[in-house]
Structure 1
């Protein structure tokens, strides 16, 4: 055993709480919780510190992690960058990836580190494994077309529209991964498939929404501290409808202690909850640090207890004020569409359970019987997701990586 190495044990790997634990020689165990974590190798390459992921603890055991660490340390000793060497090997292997299932598996292997518990239980990937890959898995990605996708997913349009949307979102990521691998694919194939599938039996007109990838740039443009800019920022950060947002009062913001954590909460009165027939309870909205920052700025403009007063007269800012701002900016999207932006982000960039995602948007999820027995509003899970959404909206979604690098 090399000096200062092999400090961990298999028992420690299994039982250690959240934190970072060094095994020696630059190998670190990074645990987000008692049951989930990953291996990271820190090495100096040409005078620059590099952090190399070696896999999750659910897939890679202690001995395997040590063997991999030694392999890549040898690469460094030979004067090579292990991350670049591994990427070259992946590109070589990608030349043999042709079938949709192979590309999908390769994509998920790299993507699951972004998901809670590395996407355990297969929830995030299941829309593909259950509804796409059984029929299209053996189709070469270069031969995949929008008609194939339409015929595969349109049966879900009227019976399981949310599942269909998730399947399309995840398949879009797989197609873009194939393009990144250098495979000949049409990156607009999902948009074409959506057009062929159609809108189903929905009677309501679809409100134009901004793609979640475009939200950070728009959010950054809302920077003059006016009532309109602050209201739109809080609308984006909370995912609420515009009516309760415009009528938000200072006395609706409180701090509560939940499961040992102090959480800032906006309690929306029951009468403000549109779409909840027979709504008799208020709705709690967890507020991210960025949302609280916006609220603190809005307090300086408050009048009569309302955070977003009408600047031209009595009452609060009108819905037309927010819509006209976006129209004058020559944007197709409308304020209410940010709820769709958030919902698409939850489906495409997280593994949020359906019930939690729907609760974030104040939708009723589950059967009447299920709801009768449910005694939670998922406030803790929603708080964590809304903090991540705020990180995305403010362009700081990469800060988790910097946090790993900051530990020694």
Structure 2
């Protein structure tokens, strides 16, 4: 029994023939016909014989094989399956490599194609980057639980409710991405964190919008001919969002129709179609005036490169002392259609780029109401550019006349 261990020698291993050679204690050298060799340890746990590879010879020497075999025999004596224990240790080691910050970035990159402009504006990633990753970015994703998430988002849960909600949503996506990669994560962690944080007290407020009756006077005050004023005028005339307008490329315009690529549109889930915007005579006039600023094909280029920023038009309104925001002109237009016209809801909503109706209804309704929208946008352009209308509005405000629209 004394000779049960260490039967092989280094020279004997090197000269071993094809077959299995016992070193004792369950350690075997398996020599293959192709000249290669493998160390194998046989142990019995829970009444079952298990064989686990310890490495290839000569990369793993006889001495190293014996040391590793001693370690796993000790594990087996504790009543543990050495193969399962090794797998557990590997998972533990792998878990420490997959930090939340790395998984979050991988999740973002995998979703860029789904995001507007391939996510270049950074809005999808910024809630994570600003409010989650500074605290949890270097934490293994498998270690993150609801308490970690609660403690991270608690400071902004009520004071910046919308941002906190977005951060929680993005974090949930990242956790699901980690699970898809085969990592062990708690997929319910974000929902549990919401329960711990409680209902948000903050009420989300709508973007401040100008009353539609005041739009003509404001529109006509944008008479300086600057690139920002022209951009804001076209934003008002078309009722589009700022992103597609800022990235308006001249090759998107054909005649009196501006075609916005589907990738640049928001709020059109369920369709991959480009969006056609009918251009009124006033809108075409603004575009013609803005062409002198065009650079690299973009109608509204930035000062040095790219296009004008998202805050350029907002800053102009701030300088005017207005609390209303450029995005609010979409609401102004929608209120005008509801209060001053008899426009069908489907037509009015389509003007804003909204998808209406269920999937089945949309499958049968192929029209985008272009002709109806063309007439409506022409009427809107005439209304806000009409100086006589502006004078009537001033009289209404002074109380000298009551006007019905």
TM-score category, normalised to shorter length: 0.3 to 0.5
Q: TM-score, normalised by structure 2?
A: 0.45
Q: TM-score, normalised by structure 1?
A: 0.45
